[in-house]
Structure 1
Amino acid sequence: MLLSVISFAQTTVKGTITDNTGQPLPGANIIIEGTTIGTSSDFDGKYIITTDQAPPFKLVVTYTGFETQTLDVTSNNQTVDVKMIEGNELDEIVISASRTPERIFESPVTVERFGLKEIKNTPSADFYGGLENLKGVDINTNSLTFKSINTRGFATFANTRFMQLVDGMDNSAPALNFPLGNLLGMVETDVQSVEILPGASSALYGANAFNGILFMTSKNPFDHQGIRGYFKQGITSQEAAGDNSYTDFGISMSHKFSDKFAAKVNFGYLKGTDWFANNIDDKNLPGGTRESNINYNGVNVYGDEVAANIRDLSGLGVIPDVVVSRTGFVEQDLTDYSAESIKADWGLYFRPWANDFEIQYVGKVGTGSTIYQGAQRYRIDGFSLQQHKLEVRNDNFFVRGYVTSDKAGDTYVMDVLGPNLLNELKSHADWFGDYIATYAGIELSGNPQGLTDAEKHAASRAVAESGIPAVGSEEFQQAFDRVTSDTNFLTGAGFKDNSKIYHGDANYNFGETFDFAEVQVGGSYRTYRLNSFGTIYADAEGPITYSELGIYTQLQRSLELNENLELKLTGSVRYDKSELFDGFFSPRISAGLTVNENHNIRASFQTGFRNPDTQALYIGLETNAGTLIGGATDIGNRFTRDYGVSQFAQNNLGQPALLPQTGAAAYTNSFAQDQNGNLVVGNSNFTEPEQVASFELGYRGKVEGFVIDASAYYSTYNDFLANENVIAPLYGNVDPDGDGVLDVTDPQTQLALGALQNGDTVGYQTYTNADETVNSYGASVSVSTKIFGGFDINANYTWSRLDFDVAGNPNFQTNFNTPEHKVKLGFGKTDLIKNLGFNVAWRWSDNYFWEASFGNGEIPAFNVLDAQVNYRIPSLKSTLKAGATNLLAKEYFTAFGTGLIGSQYYLSLTINNL
């Protein structure tokens, strides 16, 4: 009898969800109105809901890109089929712009969205690469598995001005200060949506939300259940590297055990061969080669920066007064170019009262190998990152805390490896000694063979190279292993790090609590714990910790001016305080005017700031080329070294054999050169936060079937972080009276000049703020529509311009690194014929000049064509896709010093990805 009662009390509803052409819509969300009870449609668009709620009640059906449908359920075992009405991208819901769900049409600022439809149809090799087709978005390709996303310029691969959040967690590696693309990110079958917020966003997201934010949201196991997976197999093709196998697969498993508990786990694996970097252009002599220039220094050649004036070394008049460099290693000698990514994540989700109140625990771990280019070229080998998050949330609030931890693995720096490996195989002293002795022998013997000067140098180099083990030999490999495992950059090239970030943030949306506006309040707290064991940071005495705190509020109100006009006003302000700097307010105001439900005009003023990153604050890295020193005011308390003093200074100036110097000397007692090469007082300023103010005007609307989104902005940057090269004397005072003017008559300054003359100095590269104001402005527009009976076509154009006197500031690099003009086109159809679809994406980039600490150079204009064709197999709930990136095989590059980007050809099978 009890079973009968229970059975009688349950209500079952089933049906099929289709689009307006009758095609099934997998992954549609179906819930009972006013509850969290629901399900999602399967690959065939079918669904079943069982509830103890008696009819009548309503079902609410939602699917991205379609209008929401509400239907009545009046009886048990009712079949409710739903034909969805296709909307457009203006109807899509975004959260990032205001921290609350809203139609992208009504967003107060520019926002780009990449949803399930775009992920499934992208012709790129993965969803992350597909983001490159969005307007205003740049992707700089560092290597096969490391792509750096940026908006609105000022980008390097160490892109500390752009944030990446995965389910609310900052995905940046604590030691590097920036995310490694999607190397350690999300598995494709677990991605729910991606949103990009260009420009300053500090009012809601705090420090470092400076030039834009990427938001990636995963699928909740309460809403998306089952096993989903994909397998991709193909090749990468590059002239330098040839054709190499490429494998990428992932699996997602999620299950709703009850209305109160659900869980999921994801795993992804990728393996391939990186793009070879083989630029052997001479940095010292344009067009020069090793044969034509004895002081050759190739772009992707390491060790040849070790150079010396051989007359100065020998003191012999028969030796010419020329600089000779050692024969370095091409990059292929120092890495095997293997690219690998292994990542996993898992989550436990609790809804204790079977409503929208949810408790989440999420864990993520990943390891990978890739190439990264910063000030040097890094071989990221076995680098690992893990995150653990605990979050409590419902529709109105969230409170979360997470920890991010990294380990460097077997990572090493190829630019540092080159010189130190050469010295290990044959010391610099022996090499130059053999070179000089050979040249002198030819000269002193009267040059009986009648060698030309070039032949004399070639003969000297051949003798100097003798005795060096061949690349790949056992002796070479043993030396290679010794140097890459040594974390002292004066003798080795290895990284050692185990840094952490502890972060907590909260937000509460009062919703309709107040009549005058929708009010949100929130805040965040972050602690950095730097622990490189004295190898990267100035933390030899122990880990460095410091914290940041921020609080914010936002008010949003809609005013109906008349039946055709609605005005939406948004105001936000945030206060942030780092224990290292003064507090900072970041306001944002915006207004959006909606006209006839088809047109929206928006205007906003936003501000942002960026605290100096961990390296800009506390790096203390000694190399043979000099010392990189952070600009924190307490750097002098953390970085001290003893340096040997010249014999001259000991004998004539009474200086001791060893003198200590702190890193603060670079900021308080140093020389520098002005743009004319004159000696001046250096004394870089300690670092302060960067600031930006940005004005934006935009339009979104639908005109005669065309969806249009356009915007223009103007941004002003102050206190731009930059690097300076200075030389700090071991004794004397560069500027005793502190007026910033070099007084060569002062005895203390004369003593400092003597130190400079005797070589009793330390060279530093400092982090400091530029006095110059930097401006940039730009505009973008996208247009999309359907033509010829349902073909999707879209086009976008982006214009970006730097407003800065480059000629008047030759020593200051803005690193704008963005083409002035970009054009992108897309064309495709999900159902060309039954179950068969295709998509084509083409993009063109204007030429631009790349400047970064690794090197500067012109990036030629390029155009790229990507394409894919897919076939759905309903009986297997699968999709088969064949695709190619850079289909035209026109190799190109996006940054100076990286490998040319070739083509990828792949075949993939995706199963049950609803």
Structure 2
Amino acid sequence: MRIALRLPAITGFLCLVATISFAQTIKGVVKNLENGEGISAASIILKGSTQGAVANEQGEFQITVSSLPVTLTISSVNFETQDISVTGSSFLIVSLKPMLGQEIVVSASRFSERLLESPVTVERVSAAAIKNTPAASYYDIIGKLKGVDIVNASLTFTSPTTRGFAGSGNTRFNQQVDGIDNQAPALNFAVGSVVGLSELDVESMELLPGASSALYGSGGMNGTLLINSKNPFNYTGLSFQAKSGVMNVGNDYRGTSPYYNFAARWAQKVSDKFAYKITSEYIHARDWLARDYRNYGRVGTNGVIKDGTRETDPNYDGINVYGDETTINLRSLVLNAIGAQVPFWQSYINQMPENIPVSRTGYTEDELADPNTVNFKVGAALHYKITPKVEASLMGQFGTGNTIYTGSDRYSLKDLRIGQYKLEFKSDDWFLRAYTTQENAGESHNLTATARQFNELWKPSAQWFQQYGFAYLNAKMAGMGDMEAHNNARVVADVGRPQAGSAEFNKLWDEVRLKPIYQNGGLFLDKSDLYVAEGQYNLSPLINNAVELLAGGNWRQFVLNSENTLFHEVNGPIKINEVGAYVQVGREIIRNRLKLTASGRYDKNEYFKGKFTPRVTAVIKAAEDHNIRLSYQTAYRFPSTQQQWIDLTVGSGTLIGGNKVIWEAYDLINNPGLSAPEFIANPANRIPVTYKEVKPESVVSYELGYKALIAKKLFVDAYVYTGEYENFIGRRDVVQFNDPANPTSYRGISVVVNSDVKVKTFGWAIGLDWRLPANFSVNGSVSSDEIRDVPNNFRSSFNAPKYRTVLGLSNSGFGPKNLMGFNINWRWQDKVDFEGDFASGTLNPIHTVDFALLYRLPSIKSQLKLGANNLFNQYYTNAIGNPSIGGLYYVAYTFNLL
């Protein structure tokens, strides 16, 4: 018996010894064929498996294989990929030929293919580009790509988009991090800057402009951004980064302040089967300040910028001033009542205008919002190779912090907490994953709602306006001019107003901001979740690769839980289920000349009819390194969770979703609202807005593109596109009368509607990347986007400049031993007539210059960077009501950045 037990143990031990004995370690170096320099971060993959390694700063690598011979695939960005057969254990010297357009991308068709041959427009940002960028945040690199617009709601809240429709929460643009949908389930903004990857853990980013729903589902109307992290099997060891700098330089509203960003990554390959990584990042700074104090004339939940200040307009409503949205007609609601109480004043009052609008005194964002942006995120992942070709991974990411966000109002996201967790099984031919996003708004609050209720707490409006009315009448009858009388009345009514920052102010402010919105406070109680399961299979090997064939599908569930502070939750949390499936087939019709690909996707949301989105692409090889691409693409989006279920009072109106249940709750079906712009302009224009079921939005887009590599040194990429939107989703402002007999008894409501006409877009772009001698590179682009046929009184929020340009100059190595480098780029965009739920108006043209000077220390695997974002400190705003962004100047030290 004892012998029987020992035999398996001995056998296992011998097998282990044999495995160790026959394991082979392959060592080598990857060099640039032209100058003989080592290629940092070159990828070495064991062909036919997921096993690999990454070259160090000198291009050196080592990889352990179970036996020889093997084939290694050696690749690096902008170098020609090579397959090397290894039969012995001699030291390998691999020389790669520099070549533009050779990057491998997967976003265009979910198959690996060269960027030069992609069937649709694709932009790729490599780890090397991130390493050398002047941008303090890798998210901001995207704004330097052609055709891309960026909106910054705060320092850590960057929202990219393509082909129009820019905003702080862009539901027409998908973002995925390692396959995880990066959009917060309830707040409807991408959370990548809060809970996503740190710069040290980003391997690459791929941007797919335009319609992409056929492969990536709802929301891919205007593009999809894929962010990929570094696998701990390939990228091992300790990396850390420290950035320190200054911002708010020359800002009279907020003095010069420090900027700190610290990140670390630890990855360990424990064996050929098991590896893990741990990442973290901490950011601390005094945020940019939103300080647009222009006067805003509200019409329902919309409005226009108008003349006037607090000293010249008694009804002043500053864009970034909060609490002054509370306004009344002083004549009808106060002065007439005074006249009834004091009859001998009545004749004087009767001579006054019928409408005397007066607003309460507000507070600026600098007085209300915590200026300290703090962001801490941590992540971990376990990777296990079940077989050489099948890898399992379990990962989790958690982020928390304070920041500011612009939606229908400005929101102070305080102690926001978001977690994302994923289990995935993956091979070369298939993947299966399940993940969840857990959202907790913490102490996040609406600045407008909080400020208005704060005013009510220290002095109720009924008392404040009555005091104002008496003081105004006394001043007028004492002979004061009208505006002087108004200003005097405000001083009287504001007696007892807490000074911002005082102990009394802080006590009352905390009392209101920590009280839920439905209890006359400003707090969100959002704890919404998203659950997703999805998979994909490459069926090509099963049919001997006669065609490229893949299929996939997904299920997702939103669980909206805001305790009625954001959504219409009369029966508890709201669940929304979606299912989808897609298939794609591609084949080379004429060898080395023509390849066609067709795909189609079907999705069903339980509250809407199903949507089918096809896509057909063609790549024509006109000549060697000259490719023409043609595409017919469609995309759709179900209304966002907020567009379906929001029920929120903001500014001077209420936002509601398109679900019929909410319309019934507001009696808008039996008592329809009137179109606000026409009614406000002329009360005789009473155009009812009746209920219509909101439908999913869809777009059909045609694109013609051209990619070319000229003389192996100049890469050209150009495209022109058109788009036609059907059932375009937007908002419309209505006024609803509570008492038809009282013309002043109405409320403003913003409702979600579809456009009755098709909205059209058009655009084009051309980009160049030119490699020059002595490691110099020049890149640049010009692009344009336009929208047409937008119905009157319909907010499209297109928000794209007609023209934008980018120009960059860089050098990857000069000076002693080519250890120095630099990168400078300039971006300009035309003026924009910006439309947003918070505010609308014209943005001035923007000019920015970014610069970085780099010095490499290969002996200690380190890099020093001196960077400047907005080098000349020209303050600008890229959305109405968003902060003014100035220069950010920093020094960064990075260890072991591969």
TM-score by length of 1: 0.90
Which one of the candidate residues 753, 759, 783 is aligned to 2:740?
A: 753
Equivalent residue for 2:623? 596
Q: Any unmatched runs of 5+ in structure 2?
A: 1-12, 298-304, 340-345, 680-684
Task: Provide closer, same or farther for how the CA distance between residues 4 and 720 of structure 1 changes in structure 2, counting only shifts above 3 A.
Answer: closer
Which one of the candidate residues 380, 384, 390 is aligned to 1:357?
A: 390
Note the C-alpha offset of 1:553. Answer: 0.5
Note the C-alpha offset of 1:489. Answer: 5.0
* Equivalences for residues 495-894 of structure 1 within 5 A: 495-514=524-543, 516-561=546-591, 565-622=592-649, 625-635=652-662, 662-663=664-665, 665-673=667-675, 676-677=678-679, 678-704=685-711, 705-728=713-736, 753-754=740-741, 757=743, 759=745, 763-804=748-789, 809-833=791-815, 834-894=818-878
Equivalent residue for 1:115? 126
1:322-376 CA deviation, whole Å, 9 max, x = no partner? 22221111111111321121111111111122x1201111111111211111111
Task: Provide closer, same or farther for how the CA distance between residues 9 and 757 of structure 1 changes in structure 2, counting only shifts above 3 A.
Answer: closer
- Would you say the 8 A contact 1:143–1:371 is kept in 2? yes
1:293 is aligned with what amino acid? D
Equivalent residue for 2:343? none
* RMSD of aligned alpha carbons: 2.1
Note the C-alpha offset of 1:418. Answer: 1.9
1:619-668 CA deviation, whole Å, 9 max, x = no partner? 122458343221113446xxxxxxxxxxxxxxxxxxxxxxxxx4262245
Task: Provide closer, same or farther for how the CA distance between residues 467 and 414 of structure 1 changes in structure 2, counting only shifts above 3 A.
Answer: same
* Equivalences for residues 175-324 of structure 1 within 5 A: 175-238=186-249, 239=251, 240-284=253-297, 286-312=306-332, 313-315=334-336, 316=339, 317=346, 318-319=348-349, 320-321=352-353, 322-324=356-358
Task: Provide closer, same or farther for how the CA distance between residues 376 and 58 of structure 1 changes in structure 2, counting only shifts above 3 A.
Answer: closer
Task: Provide closer, same or farther for how the CA distance between residues 835 and 435 of structure 1 changes in structure 2, counting only shifts above 3 A.
Answer: same
1:670-695 CA deviation, whole Å, 9 max, x = no partner? 13037543113222323211111000
Q: Secondary structure, in 3 states, of the residue corresponding to 1:595?
A: strand
Task: Provide closer, same or farther for how the CA distance between residues 624 and 847 of structure 1 changes in structure 2, counting only shifts above 3 A.
Answer: closer
- Would you say the 8 A contact 1:667–1:686 is kept in 2? no
Instruction: Return 65-74 or 225-234, whichever deviates more.
Output: 65-74
Q: Any unmatched runs of 5+ in structure 1?
A: 637-661, 731-751
Quick check: 1:87 aligned with 2:99? yes
Task: Provide closer, same or farther for how the CA distance between residues 585 and 8 of structure 1 changes in structure 2, counting only shifts above 3 A.
Answer: closer
- Would you say the 8 A contact 1:629–1:663 is kept in 2? no
1:482 is aligned with what amino acid? E
Inter-partner Cα distance in structure 2 for 1:717 and 1:278? 35
- Would you say the 8 A contact 2:799–2:834 is kept in 1? yes
Which one of the candidate residues 25, 41, 55 is aligned to 1:41?
A: 55
Note the C-alpha offset of 1:516. Answer: 4.1
Equivalent residue for 1:325? 359
Which one of the candidate residues 410, 419, 431 is aligned to 1:398?
A: 431
- Would you say the 8 A contact 1:686–1:767 is kept in 2? no
1:736-777 CA deviation, whole Å, 9 max, x = no partner? xxxxxxxxxxxxxxxx734x5483x65432112121211010
Inter-partner Cα distance in structure 2 for 1:406 and 1:52? 44
Note the C-alpha offset of 1:10. Answer: 4.2
1:597 is aligned with what amino acid? E
- Would you say the 8 A contact 1:490–1:623 is kept in 2? no
- Would you say the 8 A contact 1:420–1:490 is kept in 2? no
Task: Provide closer, same or farther for how the CA distance between residues 758 and 471 of structure 1 changes in structure 2, counting only shifts above 3 A.
Answer: closer
- Would you say the 8 A contact 1:191–1:218 is kept in 2? yes
Inter-partner Cα distance in structure 2 for 1:111 and 1:458? 58
Which one of the candidate residues 178, 184, 188 is aligned to 1:173?
A: 184
Q: Secondary structure, in 3 states, of the residue corresponding to 2:472?
A: helix
Task: Provide closer, same or farther for how the CA distance between residues 454 and 342 of structure 1 changes in structure 2, counting only shifts above 3 A.
Answer: same
- Would you say the 8 A contact 1:164–1:213 is kept in 2? yes
Inter-partner Cα distance in structure 1 for 2:104 and 2:168? 31
- Would you say the 8 A contact 1:235–1:906 is kept in 2? yes
Instruction: Return 521-530 or 298-307, whichever deviates more.
Output: 298-307
Inter-partner Cα distance in structure 1 for 2:475 and 2:98? 84
- Would you say the 8 A contact 2:732–2:795 is kept in 1? no
Note the C-alpha offset of 1:74. Answer: 4.0
Residue correspondences, number: 852
Structure 1 outlier segments of 4+, above 6 Å: 1-7
2:99 is aligned with what amino acid? G
Note the C-alpha offset of 1:783. Answer: 0.9
1:824 is aligned with what amino acid? V
* Equivalences for residues 48-87 of structure 1 within 5 A: 48-54=62-68, 56-76=69-89, 78-87=90-99
Which one of the candidate residues 372, 375, 385 is aligned to 1:338?
A: 372
Equivalent residue for 1:428? 461
Inter-partner Cα distance in structure 2 for 1:569 and 1:229? 45
- Would you say the 8 A contact 1:620–1:630 is kept in 2? yes
Note the C-alpha offset of 1:210. Answer: 1.4
Inter-partner Cα distance in structure 2 for 1:119 and 1:347? 22
1:186 is aligned with what amino acid? L
TM-score by length of 2: 0.92
Task: Provide closer, same or farther for how the CA distance between residues 606 and 432 of structure 1 changes in structure 2, counting only shifts above 3 A.
Answer: same
Task: Provide closer, same or farther for how the CA distance between residues 307 and 71 of structure 1 changes in structure 2, counting only shifts above 3 A.
Answer: closer
- Would you say the 8 A contact 2:408–2:650 is kept in 1? no
Note the C-alpha offset of 1:14. Answer: 1.9
Task: Provide closer, same or farther for how the CA distance between residues 629 and 70 of structure 1 changes in structure 2, counting only shifts above 3 A.
Answer: closer
Note the C-alpha offset of 1:517. Answer: 1.5
1:765-823 CA deviation, whole Å, 9 max, x = no partner? 21121212110100011111122433111111111111225xxx431111110001111
Inter-partner Cα distance in structure 1 for 2:154 and 2:290? 9
Inter-partner Cα distance in structure 1 for 2:19 and 2:326? 83
- Would you say the 8 A contact 1:709–1:781 is kept in 2? yes
Task: Provide closer, same or farther for how the CA distance between residues 5 and 534 of structure 1 changes in structure 2, counting only shifts above 3 A.
Answer: closer
Inter-partner Cα distance in structure 1 for 2:19 and 2:205? 43
Q: Secondary structure, in 3 states, of the residue corresponding to 1:352?
A: strand
- Would you say the 8 A contact 1:616–1:687 is kept in 2? no
Note the C-alpha offset of 1:42. Answer: 2.2
Instruction: Return 44-53 or 289-298, whichever deviates more.
Output: 44-53
- Would you say the 8 A contact 2:135–2:867 is kept in 1? yes
